[in-house]
């Protein structure tokens, strides 16, 4: 009898243990599910934080050349700095509010194109025939899509037309009257050629023509081109940006070279020379002696040195601007930003109009070599 009672007691104990084990397993499953959801929520929260606090930045130039402080009045220097600040602040504000790098580049360059201070848009220099021929290009680093226009004479903001070529056509570069026909079909603002007339640019052309008569052998095209370049006021404008989505873009706009002939086209509308952007490396806009920047494929070469040799943006920019271009006989500069927000503003001339703003809104502004 006692033995039987012991067996019954043991049976009840085992049944209780089974129930407790079952309940423990249920409780453990619920705890794991809650922990998983908690981790998922934390991950999503961290992702949102990273997105909202993503690094971004913007850098611009207004041309490089023989820009010397002793040749600059105080009022003109202030005017340049105010316009550079206005342009880069506009682009930075767009990026801060979530705009794409392409949108920021276009809007920033518009402000520089609308100013007579720079050799782009309104301030474009004159050709030998006393006309204005404008070039521009833009590139999206996320898709490697690009657009460019060359030799347009009635497009108020050539960078807008370049963007339309990139986003609304199957082409990369359009030129002349055909580009203007496309502009009209896309609702791009066209103006009369007289819009681009500024007295200062026109007088610069007259001075160069006068020097041609007295100082140059007109049979030497090489000497003529070199003379035109060195006596031309540079003012090509450009912008490169990194947006909060991690995408890069770059754009460049110019009136070309004072006294240029034969529908000459420089590097500004040429993808890889005047403009290049690739999310894997950097976004670059060039300014300088276009013929040499084309031969050196300056903008792309900086990206290639980063991609294939592992150089930093600054190392690559210095290699190309301080060595490769001068070795060929050219000069000028670039502005660039990489996929991490690092910036380069490299030039081998006496000055370059330039500005940079990082994600914190800190402004770096410069004109002369030692700034």
As annotated, the active-site residues are 236
Cα radius of gyration rounded to whole Å, the chain? 30
For residue 259, the tally of other CB atoms under 10 A from its CB is: 27
Measured CA distances, 162 to 117, 123, 147, 251, 268 (Å): 22, 18, 5, 9, 11
For residue 360, what is the DSSP state?
T
> Rounded to an integer, what distance in angstroms lies between the CA atom of residue 216 and that of residue 36?
80
> Rounded to an integer, what distance in angstroms lies between the CA atom of residue 326 and that of residue 324?
6
- Which tokens in the block code for residue 279? 């999310």
CA neighbor of 244 nearest in space, from 358, 99, 366: 99
E-strand stretches of 168-215: 173-175
Cα-Cα-Cα-Cα torsion 292, 296, 300, 302, nearest 10 degrees, comes to -100
CA neighbor of 355 nearest in space, from 57, 56, 53: 57
> Rounded to an integer, what distance in angstroms lies between the CA atom of residue 252 and that of residue 279?
18
How would DSSP label each residue in 211-267? HHHHH--TT-HHHHHHHHHHTSPP--EEEEEE-TTS-EEEEEEE---TT--TT---S
Q: Residue 187: left if φ>0, alpha if ψ -120 to 50, beta else—which one?
A: left
CA 70 to chain centre: 30
Question: 371 and 356 in contact (C-beta within 8 Å)?
Answer: no
User: Tokens 């004479």 correspond to what residue?
Assistant: 153
Tally of residues, the chain? 371
């Amino acid at each position: 009898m006692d033995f039987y009672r012991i067996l019954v007691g043991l049976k009840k104990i085992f049944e209780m243990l089974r129930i407790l084990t079952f309940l423990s397993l249920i409780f453990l499953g619920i705890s794991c599910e809650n922990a998983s959801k908690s981790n998922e929520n934390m991950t999503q929260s961290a992702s949102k934080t990273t997105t909202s606090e993503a690094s971004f930045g913007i850098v611009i130039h207004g041309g490089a050349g023989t820009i010397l402080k002793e040749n600059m009045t105080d009022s003109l220097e202030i005017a340049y700095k105010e316009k550079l600040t206005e342009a880069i602040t506009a682009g930075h504000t767009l990026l801060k509010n979530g705009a794409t790098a392409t949108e920021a580049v276009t809007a920033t360059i518009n402000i520089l194109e609308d100013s007579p201070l720079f050799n782009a848009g309104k301030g474009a220099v004159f050709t030998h025939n006393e006309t204005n021929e404008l070039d521009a290009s833009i590139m999206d680093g996320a898709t490697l899509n690009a657009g460019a226009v060359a030799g347009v004479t009635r497009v108020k903001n050539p960078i807008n037309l370049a963007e339309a070529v990139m986003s609304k056509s199957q082409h990369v570069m359009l030129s002349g009257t055909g580009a203007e026909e496309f502009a009209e079909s896309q609702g791009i603002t066209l103006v009369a050629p007289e819009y681009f007339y500024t007295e200062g640019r026109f007088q610069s052309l007259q001075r160069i023509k006068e020097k041609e008569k007295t100082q140059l052998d007109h049979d030497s095209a090489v000497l003529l081109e070199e003379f035109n370049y060195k006596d031309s006021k540079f003012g090509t404008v450009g912008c490169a940006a990194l947006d909060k989505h991690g995408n890069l873009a770059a754009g460049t706009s110019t009136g070309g070279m004072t006294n240029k002939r034969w529908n000459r086209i420089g590097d500004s509308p040429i993808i890889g020379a005047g403009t290049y952007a690739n999310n894997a490396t950097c976004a670059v806009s060039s300014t300088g002696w276009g013929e040499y920047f084309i031969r050196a494929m300056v903008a792309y070469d900086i990206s290639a040195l980063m991609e294939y040799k592992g150089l930093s943006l600054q190392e690559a920019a210095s290699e190309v601007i301080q060595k490769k271009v001068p070795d060929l006989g050219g000069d000028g500069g670039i502005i660039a930003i990489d996929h991490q927000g690092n910036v380069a503003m490299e030039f081998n001339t006496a000055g370059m109009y330039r500005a940079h703003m990082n994600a914190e809104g800190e402004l770096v502004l410069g004109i002369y070599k030692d700034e």
